[in-house]
Structure 1
Amino acid sequence: MVSQFVSPDKVRLLGHLKFDFPEGTHAIGRLDNHSEGLLLLTTNKKVTRLLFQGQVPHKRIYLVLVKGLVEAPALHLLRTGITLPGKGHDDYTTLPCDVEIVAPPPNLPPLDPSHTWKVPETWLQITLTEGKFHQVRKMVTTVGHRCKRLIRVAIEDIELGGLAPGAVRELEETDFFRLLHIDNWQ
């Protein structure tokens, strides 16, 4: 599914979900079409600016399945900052972030069998306070590991939890802003 309501391409969109979204609903931050997990939707146009363009950084947590066994030197590079190629000659060094090797998440729907490899793999939990284009995928690739699966599990204190793919959970506006740690939202 593409994390938008309108597209010129014949793809599955948010509007195809069995939910009556209010007029003006839009996604806050996107997931690319090879990623899954938590997507925040709102009708409040200030949220994107306050959450992702404001002066206070807000954390995003991802579970990442990579090809191969991740060792200490790669973890160190991921944690301290990776230089990624930018457009033209504008390379970009990621901010330091938290990276841990974690156990496979329980009750996770399986990947398409065509995406399996017969090699060791590692689950990482990566906590960022920035979100450049395909940043997590580029980071793990730069340290020698191909991203097999990318799941956003939290933005600040809003967690995916056991929410099924395609399911929608509504939050009261005050809870939404409290869990996102956004104070001046009115």
Structure 2
Amino acid sequence: MRYFVLHKPYGMLSQFTSEGGHACLADLNFDFPKSVYPVGRLDHDSEGLLILTDDNLLKNKLLEPRQKMPKTYLAQVEGQVEPEHLKKLENGLEIKHKGKVHFTQRAVAKRYSGAIPEERDPPVRFRKTVPTDWLTLTISEGKNRQVRKMTAAVGLPTLRLIRLQIGQLALANMAIGEVRELKKEEIYRLTIGQ
């Protein structure tokens, strides 16, 4: 079995076939084995940690909703993050999913004050009159565009979204577009979950 981690760039599809003029995983300067596929996905306008493997048991464990595998995201949002925003995000709120109302599960939300990630290409549009802020959000479910829907629901539209962590596996200091093969201890930490 082979296991890889990628810092997926903005504008790239989480698949090996291009669609709609978007870049895809085949465009990376990396020779992936033909047997590996992404575990889950990140939208083309999201960045960050993406796992690729041919281990179907691990894929199923990471994607199975009953496993409640935590995923942590860093979001640059429009507006200032206040304690009431974080409380609403943590307690759960209503979002639309596939045309129905979904009430999100409890999450962990924090205002982010760490180092700002390297600028993406293209950069987020800057507006002098509109402040931006950063927050981290850890969720254990994965509805389509969930983090973006959650931040919008509390009045903080997401401008940039980066997945930092899945379970115990963190993006750490990987550069945008960097790929590396996972070490045995990292695979073990993924298989034991939280």
**TM-score normalized with structure 2 length:** 0.85
- Contact (CA 8 Å) 1:140, 1:147: kept in 2 or not? yes
1:68 paired to 2:67: no
Q: Determine the structure 2 residue equivalent to 1:97.
A: 107
- Which structure 1 segments of 5+ residues have no match? none
1:167 is aligned to 178
Q: Do 2:72 and 2:139's aligned partners in 1 also have CA atoms closer than 8 Å?
A: yes
Of 112, 137, 155, the match for 1:126: 137
Assess, with a 3 A threshold, how the Cα gap between structure 1 residues 54 and 126 changes in structure 2: closer, same or farther: closer
Q: How does 1:31-70 map to 2 (within 5 A)?
A: 31-53=42-64, 55-70=66-81
CA gap 1:8/1:102 in 2 versus in 1, 3 angstroms: closer
Distance in structure 2 (CA, Å) of the matches to 1:107 and 1:113: 12
Whether the 8 Å contact between 2:58 and 2:191 is mirrored in structure 1 is no
For the residues of structure 1 that align with 2:125 and 2:23, how far apart are their CA atoms?
Answer: 20
User: d(CA) in 2 for partners of 1:8 and 1:64?
Assistant: 26
Q: Secondary structure at the match of 1:162?
A: coil
Q: Contact (CA 8 Å) 1:156, 1:181: kept in 2 or not?
A: no
Look up the match of 1:178.
188
Indicate whether 1:87 and 2:98 are aligned: yes
Contact 2:77 2:159 in 1 (8 A): yes
SS of the counterpart of 1:4? Answer: coil
Contact kept in structure 2, 1:51 and 1:182, CA below 8 Å: no
RMSD: 1.9
After TM superposition, the structure 1 stretch with the greater mean CA deviation from structure 2, 153-162 or 111-120, is 111-120
Residue in structure 1 matched with residue 7 of structure 2 by the alignment: none
Shift of 1:54: 5.4
Give aligned pairs, total. Answer: 181
| Residue-by-residue CA offset, 1:133-166 (whole Å, 9 max, x unaligned) | 0000000001111111100011111111111111
Distance in 2 (alpha carbons) for counterparts of 1:77 and 1:111: 31
**Please, which moves more after superposition, 127-136 or 52-61?**
52-61
Residues 111 and 22 (structure 1 numbering): CA distance in 2 closer, same or farther, change over 3 Å? closer
Quick one: higher RCO (CA 8 Å, sep 6+), 1 or 2?
2
The answer on whether the counterparts of 2:92 and 2:106 sit within 8 Å (CA) in structure 1 is yes
Who is 2:35 aligned against?
24
Q: Distance in 2 between matches of 1:97 and 1:141?
A: 15
Give the share of equivalent positions with the same residue, in percent.
Answer: 36
Alignment of 1:121-160 (within 5 A): 121-160=132-171
